Amino acid sequence: MDLRNKVDNIINAHSIKAQQSSYDRDTCVLAVLSARETMLGIPNELTGDAYSQAVLEALEVLFNRYHDPDGEFTSGRSVIGAILDDIRAALEE
C-alpha cells in the first residue's frame, strides 16, 4: 500500500474514533482535523524515506505545540500522540 494511503487510512480511523468519543468529542475531532491539515502540508513530490521523515517531523511538531483549551478532559494532544504512534508504526513496517 502507498505510504500516503497508509497515513490517510490511519487518520480516517482516528477520525471515526474521535466522532464516537464520549469525552470531549469536539476537541478530539479538531485534533484529528489538525493532523489531517498538517499532512496536507507535506509536499506531494516527497516519496519513500523523505515522505516518512517529513510526516513524522510534522506530526512531532504538532504534538509538541498542540493544546485545545476548550477540552474538559483532554487538550487533544493525546489524540495527536495516538495518531503519531500509529503512523510511526505503519511507516516502520
CA pair distance 77, 67, nearest whole angstrom: 6
The pLDDT value given to residue 60: 97
Say how far residue 10 (Cα) sits from the centre of its chain: 8
Q: Where are the domains of the chain?
A: 3-92
Q: Up-side HSE of residue 84: CA atoms within 13 Å toward CB?
A: 21
Q: Are 86 and 14 in contact (CB under 8 A)?
A: yes
- pLDDT lower than 70: segments of the chain: 1
The pLDDT value given to residue 67: 92
The pLDDT value given to residue 29: 96
Residue type, 1: M
Residues in the chain: 93
Total-model pTM:
0.93
The pLDDT value given to residue 74: 86
CA distances from 33 to 15, 62, 78, 93 (A): 8, 12, 14, 25
The pLDDT value given to residue 1: 60
